[in-house]
Structure 1
Amino acid sequence: MAKSFVQIILGNVRITRNLVLLLIIGGLYAISVALSNTFVNIYLWKQSGEIRDIALYQLASVVSQPVAFLVAGYIAKRFDRIIALRLGVFVLTSFYLTVLFSGESAGEILIVLGILLGMGFGFYWLGYNVLTFEITEPDTRDFFNGFAGLLTSFAGMIGPLTAGAVITWMPETTGYHIIFFVSFFMFILAVILSFRMNHRHAEGPLRVAKATMEIKRNTDWRKVLFSHFLQGSREGIFVFIIIVWVYTATQSELALGGYGFITSAVSFLGYFMVSRFLKPLQRKRAILIGGALLFGAVFLIIFHPTYPLLITYGIIISAAYPLLLVPYVSLTYDVLGKASNAGMMRIEYLITKEWFLNGGRIVSILLLLVGISLFKEEQIVPVLMVILGAGSFVMYWFIRDIDLTLLLNKREAKSSIPEQEGGDSLS
């Protein structure tokens, strides 16, 4: 009975110890970020009230991430990919401690904070992505990415609402400090848990230059990288503009937490449905529908971003993101798995992917900074949101011709995956 219930929830998926551990570590990370990351932006924005300052903070973060990915790649090759992940968590804990101890002076060190955040993200996500590539297989990636999305959505439900309530009920900035400390504690738990994962050394030197040559040779990989650039161009400004708009529309951290709860609840259901029922050969259609919804939702809020409209926007994009990201991430790893020497050079390919993603974010934020220096903020921001928001829709036109025959030949697919059969099984 219990087994049948698990199969109903998870499907007939081969679960391994490393896969479960990575999901739990990702869940702890998601809770930490959900508790604090939204409110770090508001905490810093309240000290100046200028979008420009938050944009500079975010720019410092996305500029430092490509550097962090390169350094983390060297560490993963020379030592272990788990060490890169742990270093990311340590740097992120340093970030939150710096925010805590700087207090009302945090606005004076925006660039430093942004660099710390970017370095932490870079180390963490390089380690996490390499582990994802090694631990999952083509027929388990949709499950893993979908279930990871479920955990992220659940964290998004409880995190912002809890944090918003604590910040609202506590005097002055006490609530912010409590939430930042809890995030720090969650990151420490993630580090401790990582010691239970199997260590594995990657082979050979770091050959990023050789990996970049695959862009010319491999048409599918080139299309994936260009689509990641478009994804980054959307994320660059949307990640903080929406947060600021929700707060300015309500002047309430609790309302911002409520926004996070509602949108994450929708996202939670979406990730469950997509990860449970989406078939590999339906990926492209799902990406098209998800991208179209993300783009269309922008027009709800660019003219008059009231709280009800922002909630409606949040519900739409929360339903759309699972449709887009679950098949898109899985497709990315499948294409990577077919690249030259994918097993030996998986780290280099992941670094290249992140460079394109962050390149899009950098361009997006730079356009915003240039735009608000030349035009009024209320005029240029909506225009940029339409232009950059189209990236999620245009992504489909890059990936629509990618060959999916890999999915029909599991032996060929597994031949390039370092951890065949997912390693040590728990079933």
Structure 2
Amino acid sequence: MLRSITKIFLGNVPVTKNLLMLLVIGGLYAVSIALSNTFVNIYLWKQSGEIRDIALYQLASVLLQPPAFLLAGCIAKKADRIYTLRAGVFILTAFFLAVLMAGKNVEDLLLFLGALLGIGFGFYWLGYNVLTFEITEPETRDFFNGFSGLLTSFAGMIGPLSAGFVITWLPESRGYQVIFFLSFFLFMMAVLLSMKMKHRHAKGPVYFKKAAGEIRKNKDWRKILYAHFMQGSREGIFVFIIILWVYTATNSELALGTYGFVTSAVSFLGYFLVGRFLKPVFRKHAIFIGGGLLVASVFIIVFHPVFPLLITYGIVISAAYPLMLVPYVSLTYDVLGKAADAGALRIEYLVTKEWFINSGRAFSIILFLVGTALLPDRIIIPVLMIITGAGHFAAAWCIKNIDTSFIVDRKKVNSGMPENGGGDSVT
């Protein structure tokens, strides 16, 4: 059935068992995160009442992700990338279980919970990214990323709104507990499903030093990494400030769920259109337009974050993100695919990429913590949002001179892909 759905939405794209399995696991992950991750920030903020505590929680998460990616990369190289994906999902189940067990003492465990979340994200996304690189080809990556975005957007439509209803309906913290338990259950389903994916053992030792040397030698790869740092600089603080602003503007979890539903509905349409119709030759144009819209969107809310303007902001960024991220992610994998020994060093390159993006996130959160310690929130937060809000446009600027002519030359790209054939090499 999922095979037929992908053909309806994405055209006549070759669909393999492992691709379907990865999409389903990604879908379960997306639903679980959509149900709970937005409300975890609100739940923690309700306990502490300090935005700096949420920033510290987020900082613990982004600081632990790079070493988690490094460890996950070693495991994937020595054993199997399926193990890292499975371990990531299992650690994320432990995170939600810890939130459930902590109850009203959760304020004392903010750094521990942030660290646990970061480790889970690191393991999960290392495995997911390696599998994505292995099972997609240059001409199918926009399709895969577009459909993956569709699943994420659909999860974003049903997850926050459903969670908002449950939390509003049930008294005190019971609603939060129900939602966190549902996320725990969905992650356990993803763990079980991952056991059906075929194993593929990587060969050779870990060469992080050699992969790091490619940054100096390969200017296109270097530009991609700089772009990911700039992308992370926006994501670091926007990931929690917008959520808190929506909640404080309405004092309603249901309103927060409605915000998630509306924005995800727009995003769903955006991912469908971009994934279905965007051609590789127009990737850079789409990235620049998306990045420009993301910068402009900040000025909608930064000076007067009331709910109607926040909804307008959400609609604009939900249209901009698919336009930016689908071709941007695809371009990242294509540039990686033509790096030196990409087939053998794909894990090392992906770990390097994640170090850059999380460095950007950590930089913006540390900037936020220092800024709010020195100046009043009402002054420094708008300034920081304008500065870091330009991150995606700066990322688009970083990649503007990357040579993309290789995308039309399949042989040149595939020579660096696993098994020299590209595509689903794990079947």
Q: TM-score, normalised by structure 1?
A: 0.97
Which residue of 2 is the match for residue 374 of structure 1?
A: 374
Show the counterpart of 1:332: 332
Q: Tell me which residue corresponds to 2:275.
A: 275
Rounded to whole Å, the distance in 1 between the matches of 2:209 and 2:174 is 48
CA distance in 2, matches of 1:37, 1:370: 25
User: AA paired with 1:253?
Assistant: E
Distance in 1, Cα, partners of 2:3 & 2:248: 48
Change (3 A) 1:240 1:5: closer
- Is the 1:18–1:424 Cα contact (8 Å) retained in structure 2? no
Rounded to whole Å, the distance in 2 between the matches of 1:7 and 1:210 is 40
The whole-number CA distance in structure 2 between the counterparts of 1:50 and 1:272 is 39
> Which runs of 5 or more structure 2 residues have no equivalent in the other structure?
none
Mapping of residues 19-418 of structure 1, within 5 Å:
19-418=19-418
* Letter of the structure 1 residue corresponding to residue 136 of structure 2: T
Give per-residue Cα distances to partners, 1:353-408, cap 9 Å, x unaligned: 00000000000000000000000011100000000011111112111111112211
Distance change (3 Å), C-alpha of 1:360 and 1:4: closer
Paired residues of 1:14 and 1:425 also in contact (CA < 8 A): no
The answer to whether the Cα contact below 8 Å between 2:134 and 2:422 also exists between their aligned partners in 1 is no
TM superposition shift of 1:425: 11
The question of whether the paired residues in 1 share the 8 Å contact of 2:27 and 2:155 is answered with yes
State the 1:46 CA deviation. 0.6
> Cα RMSD over matched residues?
1.5
Cα distance in structure 2, aligned partners of 1:264 and 1:203: 40
Residues 308-364 of structure 1, C-alpha deviation per residue, up to 9 Å, x if partnerless?
A: 000000000000000000000000000000100000000000000000000000000
Residues 288 and 324 in structure 1, CA contact (< 8 A), matched pair in contact too = yes
Identify if the C-alpha distance between structure 1 residues 300 and 23 changes in structure 2 by more than 3 Å, giving closer, same or farther: same
- Decide whether the 8 Å contact of 2:368 with 2:381 is kept in 1: yes
Cα distance in 2, alignment partners of residues 122 and 375 from structure 1: 33
AA at the equivalent of 2:159: G
Contact 1:84 1:127 in 2 (8 A): yes
Which amino acid in the other structure matches residue 129 of structure 1?
A: N
Residue of structure 1 equivalent to 2:424: 423
Q: Which amino acid aligns with 2:88?
A: G
Report the equivalent of 2:9.
Answer: 9
Question: Which residue identity does 1:19 align to in structure 2?
Answer: L
- Deviations along 1:67-115, one digit per CA (max 9) or x if unpaired, are 1000000100111000000100111011000000000110111000000
Conserved 8 A contact 1:16-1:425 = no
Say how many residue pairs are matched: 425
Of all paired residues, the percent bearing the same amino acid is 68
Distance 2:348 2:250 in 1: 44
Q: Which amino acid aligns with 1:110?
A: L
- For 2:195 and 2:4, the matched residues in 1 are separated by 32
Task: Please list every run of at least 4 consecutive aligned residues from structure 1 whose deviation after the TM superposition is greater than 6 angstroms.
Answer: 2-6
Read off the aligned partner of 2:108 and give its amino acid letter.
Answer: E
How far is the alpha carbon of 1:198 from its aligned partner? 1.1
Q: Is contact 2:62-2:118 (8 Å) kept?
A: yes
After TM superposition, the structure 1 stretch with the greater mean CA deviation from structure 2, 162-171 or 397-406, is: 397-406
Determine if contact 2:135/2:426 at 8 Å carries over to the other structure.
no
Q: Secondary structure at the match of 1:422?
A: coil
Task: Say if 1:206 and 1:348, in contact at 8 Å, map to a contact too.
Answer: yes
Q: Contact 1:17/1:424 (CA < 8 Å) preserved in 2?
A: no
Whole-Å separation in 1 of the counterparts to 2:3 and 2:359: 45
Contact 1:16 1:422 in 2 (8 A): no
> What CA distance in whole angstroms lies between the structure 2 residues aligned with 1:210 and 1:109?
38
- Answer yes or no: is the 8 Å Cα contact 1:88–1:123 preserved in 2: yes
CA change 1:13–1:306 in 2 (3 A) is: same
* SS of alignment partner, residue 213 of structure 1: helix
Question: Counterparts of 2:168 and 2:9 in 1: how far apart (Å)?
Answer: 36
Q: Specify whether residues 4 and 189 from structure 1 end up closer, same or farther in structure 2 by C-alpha distance, changes over 3 A only.
A: closer
Given that residues 338 and 415 in structure 2 are in contact (C-alpha distance below 8 angstroms), is that contact kept between their aligned partners in structure 1?
no
* Unaligned segments of structure 1, at least 5 residues: none
Q: TM-score if structure 2 supplies the norm length?
A: 0.97
Q: Residues 410 and 380 from structure 1, CA distance in 2 versus in 1: closer, same or farther, beyond 3 angstroms? A: same
Please say if residues 81 and 131 of structure 2, whose CA atoms lie closer than 8 Å, have aligned partners that are also in contact: yes
| Partners of 2:249 and 2:24 in 1: CA distance | 35
